[in-house]
Amino acid sequence: MKRILISLTLLLSGALFSQSAPPNVLFIAIDDLNDWVGCLDSHPQVKTPHIDALAERGTLFTNAHCQAPLCNPSRTSVMTGLRPSTTGVYGLAPWFRKVDEWKDLVTLPQHFSNAGYQTYTVGKIYHGRDWNSPKLSEFDVVAKTSVGLMPKTKRVATPRGGRGMDWAVYPYEESDHKDWKTASWAVEQLDAKPKDPFFMAVGFALPHVPLLATQKWFDMYPEDEVVLPRMLLDDRSDTPRFSWYLHWKLPEPRQKFLLEEGEQIKIVQAYLASVSFIDSQVGRVLEALERNELADDTIVVLWSDHGYHLGEKQITGKNTLWDRSARVPLIFSGPGVKAGQRSGRPAELLDMYPTLSELCGLEVPDHLEGLSLAPQLKHAQAPRTRPAITTHNHDNHGVRSEQWRYIRYADGTEELYDMVEDPNEFTNVASDSRYAAEKRALRKQLPKINRKPAPGSAKRILTYEAGVANWEGEDIGPHDVIPD
C-alpha cells in the first residue's frame, strides 16, 4: 500500500530525481550550534572535518537563519512549517499539539509517513517530552536509549544557573555520553538496512549546555591558545534598552560574570570541544550511511535550531535577534543536490519542509510558510524572493538580507547593521538618515501575522501591552536596573 501511495504522489507532483524509487532522508539536528563550523569560516580554530566533508558533497547555505532563537519555538517552526508569529509558540512551553488550532496539523515526519516512508527518530528533534508518547504519531519508530551518565556536581557556580549551566571535562567515557548513544542507535538502524524509503531524524544535544566533552576534545583547543570571538565590552551602548528585555533574567550568565570569574576563555574552549565531539558523532552516522551503500540514495540535511553567544553583546546563550543567535549551519547533500556549492542567498529553517517534500517528489502542503530551496540546490546563486526572518516573542523580529540585518522590537525601537562592512554588528546605524530607504524596504518584510503567546505559554515569555513590558509575569519598569 505504501508503494502505491508513493507512486501516486510522484505521478501527481513530479520528482526532481531520476531514481526509480524515492530517496531516503537523513535529518540531522544539532542543538545550540552557532556558525562555528569550519566550512562557515566563523571561528579560526574550530575543527569539524565530518560536517565540512558533508558540505563539500552538497550545498552549504552560508546565510541560513533560524525562525526563533530558542529550542521549542524553533523546532516547532521546522516541524510544522509555520512561523512562531503564526503559531504563537514563543517560549519553552506549550507543546504545540496542546494548542487547539494545531493539534491535527500534519508535521514534516507525518507528511513523509503518510506518503509511505518509514519514519524513525532518536535524540532531540522536538523540544521537551510531550511528543514521544506511544499514543502520539509524530514518528513510526521512536528510539529508546539511556540518557547517559552525568556528573553529580557542577564545576562552575553561575549566578542563576541550575545544574545544566556548566562547562567542564566530561569525567566518563565517550560511550557514556547521551550523544554517543544517540549516534549508536542511528548506526544500528542503518546497519540493519532499513526498508526503503526511510526518513530518519537524529538529534544531538551538544553544544547545548552543559558543555561536557572528554579530555581529548579539550586537548584540541589548549586553553592558552584559545581565540576568543571578536567583541566589545560596551557593545550595547548603541542598542535599544528593549533589546535587554528579550533575555531579562535567564540561567545563562552575562559576560560580566565570565570576565570576573576567569571563565571567558574556559567557556569558549568547552564550546569548541563540544562542537568537535558532536562533529565526530555526525561522522559515525555518515560513515554508517556510506558503509551500508545508502549514501547515493539518501538526502542528508544537517541543521541547528539556533545559534549561541559566548560573550558577544555582553551575554552568553541565545534569545537575541543578532547573527550570533540566528545564523546556523544548513547543509543539503544527496540526490537532487549539486555538490561543492556555497549559497549566500538568505535561507530559513522553515524552508526545509517544502524543500524535502519537493526533492522527494511529495506534494507540498498548502499551509507551509517556507519556500523551497530546490532552485539553490541546483544553482547556488538562483534568486530568492525574500530575506530570512527570526522572531523572539511577539512583535520582535530580525530581518536578514544578503547585506543587512534589520531588527524591530515590540516598542518600535530599531537596529540596522551593514553585514558586509560590519559583520560583527558593532555599529547600529538605524538612526542614520542615509539608510532610511533600506530600513523602509526591510520593514516591509516583517510578518503580517503577529499572534500573542498561545495558551499555556511559559518560560522565557516576554509580552508588551499598552507600553508595559512584562517578563514571565513581572512588569519591567523603564528605570529598572538591567540584571547582571
Active-site residue list: 71, 127
Strand stretches in 287-411, DSSP E = 298-304, 309-310, 316-317, 330-333, 341-343, 347-348, 388-391, 397-400, 404-408
Cell of 244: 535587554
Integer distance in angstroms from the first to the last C-alpha of the chain?
60
Instruction: For residue 273, give Cα distances in angstroms to 18, 23, 190.
Output: 41, 34, 27
Radius of gyration, CA atoms only, the chain = 22
Hey, is 64 helix, strand or coil?
Answer: strand
- Give the pairing of strands 64-65 and 347-348: parallel
CA proximity to 314, closest of 243, 405, 372: 243
For residues 385 and 85, give the distance between their C-alpha atoms in angstroms, rounded to a whole number. 20
Positions of E strands within 91-189: 118-123, 141-142, 167-169
With b for 16 or more beta-carbon neighbours within 10 A and e for fewer, the 329-358 pattern comes to bbbbbbbbbeeebebebbbbbbbbbbbbbb
Neighbours of 481 (CB within 10 A): 6
Beta strand extents in 268-376 (DSSP E only): 298-304, 309-310, 316-317, 330-333, 341-343, 347-348
Alpha helix positions (H), 23-128? 49-57, 71-80, 84-87, 108-114
